[in-house]
Amino acid sequence: MSEATSRPLRIAVIGTNYLGANTAAGMAEFGFDVIGVEIDEHRLKLLNDGKAPLYEPGLDPLLKKHTDSGRLRFTKDYREIADWADVHFICVGTPQLEGSEAADLSQVHSVVDMLAPLLTRPALVVGRSTVPVGTSTIVEQRFHAEAPAGTAVEIAWQPEFLREAHGVEDTLHPDRLVFGVQSEAAETRLREVFATPIAEGSPVVICNLPTAELVKAGANAFLATKISFINALAEMADATGADVTQLADALGYDKRIGRGALNAGPGYGGGCLPKDLRAFMHRAGELGVEEVITLLREVDDINQHRRAGIVDLTHEMLGGEWVGKNVTVLGAAFKAGTDDVRDSPALDVAGRIQLHGANVTVYDPEAMENARRVRPTLRYAPTAVEACREAHAVLHLTEWPEFRALDPAALRDVVSTPVVIDARLNLNAETWRTAGWTYRAPGKP
């Protein structure tokens, strides 16, 4: 990997949806020339116009800045990056395999199919995609066998820890950098790539390939465990009259625990955490580590039970009747700041209530189009106020600032029955109650 010492590094980013688009824009911001590889024609055109293929705060301006400067461009032709780039980042998706809990690695292997035969000189191939432990070894074996450069192609793994709605910030200012490497040369190269955040103080962890793969899986599993843990405590709070928010605040002061992710609510969702947790369980099963499966199966079950609990609470607040009742769901994205509706608790709850026979109307500031594709039989309204019209219950299921800013006094005149279920524990309970609403929140007295 010595050919690039006389000139600045050139970076290729393969796969440019959420992870890849943030990575490509971030590498350009760090000062490198970047080519992103995207095979989808529609997405390719958007990216070359400086537009992200999804909603992510701050990403469009960053893409536009560097596509206009000429530092960043996108192509569908692997031949443009094969001899050009010194570092190739693999950022393709690894969704859940249909009919299984395992990760679908077809996109990762497709990258090897397309890139390996074209690599004729030394290069560093860096995986950022979330994969089951052991995948990097298989990828390395394939590159060494199929690339003309053979073992001069080195594999590293550098897991990402991007939070949707904070992807740009997390790319430019990561809270840690994990380099799974097999040589000092690979470590040096990655330190050069990430010189800017390292200079800002981002800590660096150097480890081997399987450790890097497990770091991401372990981080997601622990996060899911914290979320399910506080939601289990919310049920204890409901049974005893305790306040789960105050409980979480008190627990959060313990430095061994921390306050992050101890927010009770409808549970976790999105395109990463649920499928990554299940892929981790699947890999643990392949390795015979039954204790991991037992623990994480319970974590996943608690998460699903939380959604059912919100449906049950809605049924209670509707007087035990579904048919003829109008239910408003505020939120469709799995969390605020994104248009991602994959495994969204909000849409799952909306769908379950509709199946019981109620009329369900949904509003979300950013995710309406995606929601309609996933749940076309639900009703959709152009504004939050319109969604609430004639409602017998309003469910707050995604914590958008717009919903917290609603005027409950004015909204009182729009609904049929002033009942609000604050599943995100994000509204001001006293304000809503003072305005004449029956306010309920899981885990709150």
Cite the annotated binding site for NAD(+) by residue number. 43, 94, 130, 164, 275, 342
**Buried-state track 372-387, b at ≥16 Cβ within 10 A, e below 16:** eeebeebbbbeebbeb
Q: DSSP string of 336-355? A: TT----TT-HHHHHHHHHHH
Binding residues for substrate, by number, are 161-164, 216, 269, 335
The residues, any chain, with a CB within 8 Å of residue 300's CB and separated by 6 or more, are 224, 228, 274, 277, 278, 281
Nearest Cα neighbor of 30 from 225, 158, 202, 171 is 171
How far apart CA 152 and CA 185 sit, in angstroms, is 12
| CA–CA separation, 327 and 260 (whole Å) | 31
Q: How far is CA 13 from CA 36, 37, 445, in A?
A: 5, 6, 50
Which element (helix H / strand E) includes 120?
none
Task: Give the catalytic positions in this structure.
Answer: 272
CB count in 10 Å sphere of residue 203: 11
CA nearest to 248, candidates 258, 262, 260, 235: 262
Q: What CA–CA distance (Å, rounded) separates 364 from 305?
A: 24
Other residues' Cβ atoms within 10 Å of the Cβ of residue 246: 13
Rg from Cα positions in the chain: 24
In 3-state terms, what secondary structure has residue 7? coil
* Both structure tokens of 365: 């500031």
